[in-house]
Amino acid sequence: MKQYDYLIVGSGLFGATFAYRAKQLGKKVLVIDKRPHLGGNVYCEKMEGINVHKYGAHIFHTNSKKVWDFVNSLVEFNRYTNCPIANYKGELYNLPFNMNTFNRMWPEVHTPIQAQAKIDEQKAEAVASLKGRKPRNLEEQALCLVGKDIFKKLIKEYTEKQWGRDCKDLPAFIIKRLPVRMVFDNNYFNDCYQGIPIGGYNKLIEALLDGVECITEVDFFKSKYKTWKKYADKLVYTGPIDEYFGYKLGKLDWRTVIFKTRVEGTPNYQGNAVINYTSHNEPYTRIIEHKHFEMFGQEVYDSPKTVLSEEYSTEYKEGMEPYYPVNDERNNALAEEYRKLSLHEDNVIFGGRLGQYKYYDMAPIIEQVLSIQL
């Protein structure tokens, strides 16, 4: 008899949710993770009494009542609403692009009709400059979607910092659409449900993995579990899909993020959880002030210090954390070849951002796991 029904590689949201479901069905499960902690990229580290999103800001949002009820059955979520700010050389703009943004961009614009006319005028100028051809790069595509003013201040330099390339050197399909909202609403997401687990994401992971056998600091490929069929009937693999296959078709590319986290001796540094820096004046893409995810009103000032994380987007190198799949033709085609190989792996489930080489928000990951027939 094998010791486990499922060996799960990786304790992020996909692996932890799968483990929870399997345990609920009476299955024997082992979760292994090469990091010294559980939770994958949603892991929080406590600093100055504040839950710091160690691997970048995670904001849970969904339109699925089933998913929302599921996570809230494990831990109560707060009322955090994501309303990021863009800072362009000291000018502050609301995101996503809405009436507050347009009035700040063009002070004479006060109504949706005026805003739409301004955008349409600039879009028409961009389309005319192409002389009938389709946009060839991201810059041309963005100009045709929102016009020159929004592109210059809120897209161009920020995107170049994210990708490490000039917008003219990025493919047009990266930006298929840009949200433009003709309302005075700063809520970044349109979803019905949104929030952060009260007490931090570790509470959610602890609830998902309660009663599940877990081992940290175990690299699947350097451990005895690589020969997983000795131990389990099925494997749930959430690591990089190309690594699973020994990179035999070639390596997939990633973008990654470097975080510089510091403590400031003030209760409120920037007044918002997320501020994007959209010019090249600053080398970082954004600053996260973590306390604003869970502290509101006077509660912010009850804590005398605050914790900030500057985010620097950079090229992935061996040994770094892979964050974002590179959405270009080469990598999309290579990833599809690996996905085809994965279909022929008996009793192996490939899941999550790394295992499928697709960027996912948190709720779709949980929804995907809830739909799997165990």
User: Which of 177, 318, 329, 346 is an active site residue?
Assistant: 177
Q: Name the nearest CA neighbour of 219 among 319, 348, 131.
A: 319
Is 255:317 a contact under the CB 8 Å cutoff?
A: no
**Alpha helix (H) ranges present in the chain?**
13-24, 65-74, 99-105, 112-129, 138-146, 148-150, 157-163, 201-208, 241-244, 299-302, 329-342, 352-356, 362-371
User: Which of 166, 217, 262, 359 is an active site residue?
Assistant: 359
User: Which of 21, 104, 255, 339 is an active site residue?
Assistant: 255
Half-sphere exposure of 216 (CA within 13 A, CB side): 9
Is 39:11 a contact under the CB 8 Å cutoff?
A: yes
User: Which of 140, 181, 193, 269 is an active site residue?
Assistant: 181
- Catalytic residue flag (residue 206): no
Alpha-carbon distance of 263 to 256, in angstroms, equals 23
- Catalytic residue flag (residue 69): no
Hey, which residues does 310 pair with through a beta bridge? 260, 287
Residue 363, Cβ neighbours under 10 Å: how many?
21
C-alpha angle with apex 131: 125 to 136, nearest 5 degrees? Answer: 90
Residue 239's alpha-carbon distances to 15, 121, 221, 229, 336, in angstroms, are 10, 47, 10, 17, 16
Alpha-carbon distance of 221 to 341, in angstroms, equals 18
Cis status of the peptide bond prior to 107, with omega within 30 of 0: no
Hey, which residues does 45 pair with through a beta bridge? 52
User: Which of 242, 286, 338, 353 is an active site residue?
Assistant: 286
User: Which of 80, 88, 311, 357 is an active site residue?
Assistant: 311
- Catalytic residue flag (residue 359): yes
- Catalytic residue flag (residue 177): yes
Phi/psi for 313 (5° steps) reads: -80, 135
Beta strands in the chain (DSSP E): 4-9, 29-33, 44-47, 50-53, 60-62, 85-88, 91-94, 193-195, 213-216, 232-237, 254-264, 274-277, 286-289, 306-315, 324-325, 348-350
Phi/psi for 175 (5° steps) reads: -110, 95
- Catalytic residue flag (residue 311): yes
User: Which of 191, 321, 361, 367 is an active site residue?
Assistant: 361
Tokens of 193: 């449900």
Catalytic residues: 177, 181, 255, 286, 311, 359, 361
